[in-house]
Structures are given as C-alpha cells and as structure tokens.
Structure 1
Amino acid sequence: MLPATVRLLLASVATSLLLLVTGYIVYLNRGPELPIWLTTELDEEFTEEAQVASFTEYLALEDRLFAQLDGEIYAKTAPATESSFNRYQRGSLADPARWSPNWNRSFLLERDNPRAMVLLLHGLTDAPYSLRHLGQRFHESGATVLGLRIPGHGTAPSGLTTVSWQDMAAAVKLAMRHLAETGEGRPIYIVGYSNGAALGIHYALSTLDNPELPRVEKLVLLSPEIGISPVAALAVWQARVGHFLGMDKVAWDSVHSLEYEPFKYGSFAINAAALSHEITREIKKRVRTLSEERALGDMPPILSFSSVVDATVEATAVVEHLYNLLPEGGHQLVLFDINRQAQIEPLLTWKPDRMLAAIQQAPHRNYTLTLVTNAGRGSSDVVARHWPEGEQGGHLQEPLGLRWPKNIYSLSHVALPFPPDDSIYGGRPEGKGPGIQLGGLALRGERGALRISAAAQLRLRWNPFYSWQEDHTVHFLNMTPSSGAFPSENLHVSERIRKHDQ
C-alpha cells in the first residue's frame, strides 16, 4: 500500500486536474447560444445499425433525411435578404438549392455500357461537390460514377456530433456492393479525398481479409488522411465531459454562426476530430500488421496526390505509414512542392524537408515518386520529376506547360480537387456562377472585423495544376478514351439526378 503522504499527493493532483479540465470546459461553454443547425438532431441519417440492405434503400433514406432538414431547419430559419450568405436561409447566395443538382446529395452518373465503375468519397465536413469535376471527367471517359454522400454530411453540422467512422465505412460497403451488382464484373475504382481517402484505404484493407467484399481494382487518393495530430485523441474526452455536464457548446471545436459555404460545413464538431483519429489509428495499425506479415501484396495499385505543406493532416503520414510499407505493386506517389521561385522558405513554419526525410527512411522505395516543382530556381514554369520504382538517382522530367500563379507559394489540403474555373472555389471562374464565389476572396480592412477570417480568405482553394492531375488520374485508371469512343449523345444521368435537375 502506498504511504499516506503519497496517496494524499496523488489525490491532490487528480483533484487539481479535474478542476482544471472542468474550468476549461466551463470556459468553452461561454458565449452566445448555438444556432439551430448545430443543435437539431436529424434522426433519418444512415447508421451502421440502420435496417438498410441496398444502396436504393440508402437513397430512399437520404430523401427522408433531406425532407427532415427542410422541415426542422430551413422552415425555422428567417428568409434571406438580398445580401444573405447563410446556406440555411433559402434564397441566400450560399443556398445549395441555387445549384442543380444539389451537390450535397449522393449522385449517380450512369453509362449504358460502362468501361468501369467509380466510387467517389468526399472529405470530412465536405460534400459530393468536391469530387464532381473528377466524376464528370470519368463519366465522359466511359465510366459509371457514384458520388456517395457520406453519413453526417451535406445537411447540418450537427450531423457530425454523433456519426462514427463505422457508420461511414458501412455506407461505403453499400455503395461498393451496388457498383459490383450493376457493373457485372467491370473494374471498380475508388477515388477518395482526405477522410474519404482514409475510408477508401480502410475498405481496400478489409477486402484482404474478406473475399466476399467486391474487390477494388485501383485507388486514387487526394490529400489523404493517414495521420492527424495526436491531440485529436483527447477530443472524445472533451465531448464526453461536456455531455455529462449538459454543455452542448463543448461538443464543438469551432462554431460558425455564418455557414457561408453551400457544400461544406464551417463549424467543426469535436466528434469529427475523434473519429478521424480513430480511423487513422486503425489504418496505421492494420497496414503495419499486414506489412510485418508480408500480406500487403494484394493491395490494389494506389495513386496519391499530396501537397508538401498541409495544415489539416500530417502530410508525412502517407509516406511513413503507407507507402514505405507497401511492396511492389504499381503504386505512385505525387507530391506538390512549394513554389521555389517565391523564396518563401524563411517564413514557413512547416518545412518540406520533413517529407523528403520520410521518403528516405525506406531502404528500398517500392513506388514511383513524382515531384511537381519549379523547372528552375528562378522560373515559375512547372515540371513533374519522376523517380521510377526503386531508383534513388536520376529522374525523368516532364514539362507540364503550366506555371505557378503570381503570389501563390504552395498548394493546400483543400485545393487539390478544384480546377481554376470552379464556380465557387476557382481563382479564374468562367463567368458568374449560381451563387457565392470564394476562390478569389481577399477583402482588406481592419483585422477582426469580418465574419470570414483572414486565414480562410488567404487559404488557396483551387489547384493551378488540376488539369495535369486529372489527366494523370485518368491515365492511371486506364480510362483515356480513344477518339470518338464515347460520344456525348450517349451520356445520361440517373433518373434520380434528372429529377433534381428539373
């Protein structure tokens, strides 16, 4: 038994920690009341336990979910004025109904005789909108494309306070089974962005143990979430203590009273950080175990794109916890370097050298490495330098015919899926879109006066090298069409999408 003095000391420390944590949570609970889109529970959302046996039933449940969203939130929110930017006010510049179809919902682009089936998995707080450009390109190249609305998304940020990564993974399995059944043996590809990339990897790993799951032919990952800050592991405890104390505000890492993006949440739930930590921990553990057992040989070929500067995920994790552990298998890793002409290195808090050091940790590189970087130190022209699998020395150089835009020093986590002409996030949109435009927003004035932060305005939201990235992806998936192979008159979308276009 411990001496009385030691027990007294431990009790004192435990009490102090409890008081400190409680005080911190009480502090977090201060502030204005939460808006309705952060407090309303929509119980028509899909969960792992839901009695949903097919993707058709998933879409029927989604219809009921969006009807509930209209009744419980939109119907109870004040109507928009001419200058409204709130997505939860009908008629505002951020109202998702301005776009047709509403890209918050699952979509299906079908082919009469598809050459492949593609599943698109968007990121956390995101919506199917983020991968629609790639989806439309795949469709034009002859594929049937399913853009899945992942549970917890596309409705209200409150959906992320209760959803689990297992709910998300269960939805992915439903979508994959649908593509397998309708594809009749055609190859199935998964394209995942951020947390969607984690879900894609998790599914592919699951197929190694369960041969009854439809096989993934190839994986494409954009800004993949393989590792996040270890601090996220503490998020779940903040949420639990807050719930115990009856403080709903503690369930949020950040609260935006103005949700100005039509297809992305601004507010971020603590539970979202917790589930990100849980799925990445599961992936890293599973990959490490299979690597030690030399059982990763059946993993599908993976093509991944990452910026060497990423404030959302641990950028090096894709190298340390995935690529460096993969055996040979046609895998490719593409990294977007910083703009070396900008000479921004002295101002950076995160050095790209960490990514290069992670690559060098592997004694033998079993993947092709590509670095998209300046053609020369003083040039804004961009090239792709390819180091073939296993080669540490010389590289092949591919001119891209693209340049770094003026005043841009790097890509960002959120930039990769969007082309320069995207109507919301593009820096060079083609004409005026249906609603709000955020890609070139840079308002100047007094600090702290705007409801849209300066950091949000300055973060790059579009990819100046998107055209090359898209072409490279289509080539990797063997979907480059021969001339005239897929005439536009053969394109059609599902009846469900056609209905929402009307």
Structure 2
Amino acid sequence: MPVLAGAEPFSHTGSPDVGVLLCHGFTGSPASMRPWGEHLAEAGYTVRGPRLPGHGTTWREMNRTGWTDWYACVEAEFGELARDCESVFVFGLSMGGTLALRLAEQHGDAVAGLALVNPSVLTLRRDARLLPLLARFVPSVKGVAGDIAKPGVTELAYGRTPVRAAASLAQLWKLVRADLHKVTQPLLLLHSVVDHVVEPVNSRIIAEGVRSTDLTEVLLHDSYHVATLDNDAPLIFERSVEFVRSVRQVGAR
C-alpha cells in the first residue's frame, strides 16, 4: 500500500548516549512528530519516528490492524534503540502516549523516561461502548483529525475513523489503565487546557495512577489536541529536552 507523502517514518543517528522514540497518534502519521524529532536531533540525540502499521496509507488498511500490531512496531523500534543507546526515552502524542505507557509498564527501567502529550487511556463518549458491536457492521465514522488551534496548520491524518481499529484501541486502553501502577519512570505530562479529542480526565487518571516520583505536569494554554503542531509546540520541544537533561543528570549522580 503506497504511503502518503509526508507520512514516511524518520530517523536520525546522533549521540549513543540518548535515544528517543517518538510515537504518533491514532489515525495520524509521523508527520505530527517530525518537528519534535528535528528539535531532538538538533539537541544531539538519536531519534526514531516509526510509522505505525495501518497508518499513513488508508483508513481501510488501518481497519485490518489492531493494537498488538501498533505495539509490536514501537517495541521493535525501542529494542533497536536500546541496543544502540545508553538511555532510551519514549515520547508520545495521544495514542502514542498510550503505547509509550505500555512500553514503560512492560520494560521497566529500560525506559529512562516518558514525555506524553495529550495521552489517552479512555473516552467518555457514550457511543464508545458500542464499538465492538458497531465494528461488525460499520466500517468507519467521522474522523477526529485536525484539532489544531493555530491557523493554517493541518494534520496529515485520516478523515475517517476505522471502527474496528478504534475497538482495538479501547482494548489497549483497558490494559494500560490496569497496569498504570507499574509506571515508575520519570514522567513529563503535557496536556492542553482545551482538547476536543481526548478529555482532560485522561491526564488526571494517568497522574494519579502511575507511581513515578519524578512527575511534572505542564498545561498547554494555546493548543488543542495535536499540540506538537500547534502554538505550544516550541514549549513542548524545549521542555522535553530539559526533561532528558534533568533525568540524565540525576542518573549520573
């Protein structure tokens, strides 16, 4: 299946001291993470921004994938970074944050730290309960892409939400919520004050559920859901580099 222009994965080989895995969101593409990746590369880090299976092509192809496929992709990338770099951090946007949390739950101290932007672990939408049933009969519904406050900026993502894939995401949410207590790594949690896709309760549940003693929350006042492409993107990028440096300094003591 041809990959949409701009949705290609990206990578940069920098210092072997720090590797950063960037995980994009549901129905999105690496394009939403590329500016962040470029900033991290300029800071000297080794960076990987994979394209999750079923993403960056068509929503119909995505409907043939599920959370185990997406997780297998980021886990494989994480493994490669762990072989090449002394410390590996995992950064994620939306569902990318969900996958990052799962990596932290499964790999423990091998994950040096997490930076999550508007991560999701549930939805309050009433119709979400019907996803397993709808998936049998309805291929797709209206998409959730493009929630950006900055004028003239668009997200390279699907205009439709593949329902079977959405039902699989709900299964991942349940697993991640149940194991939040296993997350003890340093955590930088950045979330928008106004988000039309992921409800604010998600960040609260994560903050209250993890056991990270190093937890920093940053409110994003001038961005919607896709904050990595929005007005607060420079703040996100700067704080994430500061976070890596801080974690590394503490570890060196």
TM over 0.5: yes
Task: Tell me whether 298-307 or 171-180 shows the greater mean CA deviation.
Answer: 298-307
TM value normalised by structure 1: 0.44
Q: CA deviation at 1:268?
A: 1.4
Counterparts in 2 of 1:162 and 1:225: CA distance versus 1, 3 Å: same
Match of 2:2 among 36, 50, 69: 69
Partner of 1:303: 188
Once the 2 structures are TM-superposed, how far is the Cα of residue 116 of structure 1 from its aligned partner? 0.5
Q: Would you say the 8 A contact 1:160–1:272 is kept in 2?
A: yes
Query: What RMSD over aligned residues (CA atoms) do the two structures have, in Å?
Result: 2.2
For residue 9 of structure 2, what is the aligned residue in structure 1?
106
Equivalent of residue 179 in structure 1, options 76, 81, 86: 81
1:139–1:308 Cα change, 3 Å: same
- C-alpha contact 1:118 1:145 (8 A) present in aligned 2: yes
Unmatched 5+ stretches in structure 1: 1-67, 71-86, 88-95, 97-102, 209-213, 243-249, 256-260, 291-295, 338-409, 419-461, 480-502
Q: Of 162, 165, 190, which residue of structure 1 is paired with 2:90?
A: 190
More helix, by proportion: 2
User: After TM superposition, where is structure 1 displaced by more than 3 Å over at least 4 residues in a row?
Assistant: none
AA aligned to 2:9 is: S
TM-score by length of 2: 0.85
Identify, as 1 or 2, the structure richer in strand. 2
Which residue of the partner structure matches residue 234 of structure 1?
130
Say if 1:225 and 1:313, in contact at 8 Å, map to a contact too: yes
Distance 1:170 1:285 in 2: 19
Residue from 88, 105, 109 that aligns with 1:205 = 105
> How many pairs align?
236
1:471 aligned to which of 199, 217, 238: 238
Name the SS of the counterpart of 1:323 in structure 2: helix
- CA apart distance, 1:202: 0.9
Query: Sequence identity, in percent?
Result: 27
- Once the two structures are TM-superposed, the CA of residue 328 in structure 1 deviates from its matched residue by 5.1
Q: 2:223 aligns with which of 411, 415, 421?
A: 411
2:218 to 334, 337, 352: 334
Tell me by how many angstroms 1:254 deviates.
2.4
* Alpha-carbon offset, residue 417 of structure 1: 0.1
What are the Cα deviations for residues 277-322 of structure 1, in whole angstroms up to 9, with x where unaligned? 21111111222xx4xxxxx4x6211101111222212211221x22
Unaligned runs of 5+ in 2: 144-153, 247-253
Question: Residue deviations 1:104-158, cap 9 Å, x none?
Answer: 12221112x4330010100111111111111111111111100011111011121
How far, CA to CA, are the matches of 1:193 and 1:328 in structure 2?
Answer: 19
In the other structure, the counterpart of 2:161 is 268
Give 1:266's aligned amino acid. G
Give the alignment of 1:343-354 within 5 angstroms.
none
Classify 1:181/1:467 alpha carbon distance in 2 versus 1 (closer, same or farther; 3 Å): same
Query: Superposed, which structure 2 residues align to 1:34-433 within 5 Å?
Result: 68-69=1-2, 96=5, 103-111=6-14, 113-183=15-85, 186-208=86-108, 215-229=110-124, 230-240=126-136, 242=137, 250-254=138-142, 263-287=156-180, 290=181, 296=182, 299-319=184-204, 321-327=205-211, 329-337=213-221, 411-414=223-226, 416-418=227-229
Partner AA of 1:196 in structure 2: G
The structure with the larger Rg is 1
SS in 2 for 1:139: helix
- On the 8 A contact 2:187/2:212 being kept in 1, the answer is no
Query: Structure 1 residue 272: deviation in Å?
Result: 3.1
Asked if 2 retains the 8 angstrom alpha-carbon contact of 1:151 and 1:167, the reply is: yes
